[in-house]
Amino acid sequence: MGVVPRTVQKLEKIWHLHPQIQKIYSAPYRWVVQREARMAEINREDRVLSLGCVAIPFSAIFLKEYSGAPVWALDIDAQALEKAGQLLRKNGIRGITLLQGNGAEIDLSQFTVILVALQVEPKKGVLKNFFAGAPEGARLIMRSPRHLFVPGYDPLPPTPQPCQRISQPLITFGGSVLYYNKK
C-alpha cells in the first residue's frame, strides 16, 4: 500500500473508539455510499460485501443502513478487524459480519454486491476473482482515484470496462464505477 492508504489505515486504528472523530471522518461517505447503493440498485434481498473495511467500517455501516441487506465486512488485516468488532459492539450495530481474507482470493460465490474500498489492491486481482467466482447478476463497485493520487492508490485496470460510472465529490476519488457479472 502507498503512503496515503497506510496513513488512513493507521488513523482508523487510533480513532476507532472516538465517536466524534468517527462521525466527522465518515460523514462525507454517507452521501457517497448512498449514491453507490442507488447505482448498484442494492436491496434487502442482496448479500453485500464491503471489501477493505479497516477499523472504522463506515462503508459497511452505511450499506447496511441504506439496503437493510445482510452485510459482511472483509479485511486482510486481523488487527483492523478486531478493532472494527469493538466499534460495532460499542455502538450496538448488528447485521454486519466481519471476515478476514484477501479480496483477490476469497470465495465470492455467496455475495451479490461487492463494494471495494479505494485502498484495496490488487484491483485487477479483485476484478478477476469477481468475474470468476461471483454469481450471475452480481454487481461490483470500485472507486476511481483522482489522477493526482494514482501514485498512492492502485488504479482501476483499463479492461474490462465498467458498465456505469457516477461522479463523487471527494478529494481522493472523483468517481465510482459499476461492473456487472453476466457470466
Residue numbers at the binding site for ligand SAM (CB under 6 A): 5, 8-9, 12, 51-54, 56-59, 74-77, 80, 102-104, 117, 119-121
For residues 121 and 182, which CB has a smaller minimum distance to ligand SAM in the complex? Answer: 121
Q: How far is the CB of 169 from ligand SAM (least distance, A)?
A: 16
For residues 76 and 180, which CB has a smaller minimum distance to ligand SAM in the complex? Answer: 76
H/E segment holding residue 38: helix 19-39
Q: How far is the CB of 131 from ligand SAM (least distance, A)?
A: 16
C-alpha cell at 117: 474500498
Q: How far is the CB of 15 from ligand SAM (least distance, A)?
A: 10
For residues 47 and 182, which CB has a smaller minimum distance to ligand SAM in the complex? Answer: 47
Question: In terms of DSSP bridges, do strands 164-167 and 173-180 run parallel, antiparallel, or are they unpaired?
Answer: antiparallel
Nearest residue to ligand SAM, scored by beta-carbon proximity: 52
Written as one string, the DSSP assignment of 55-79 is SS-HHHHHHHHHH-S-EEEEES-HH
Helix and strand numbers, DSSP H then E, in the chain: 5, 7
Task: Give the Cβ contact number of residue 183 at 10 Å.
Answer: 8
For residues 47 and 99, which CB has a smaller minimum distance to ligand SAM in the complex? Answer: 99
Query: From CA 102, how far away is CA 75, in angstroms rounded?
Result: 7
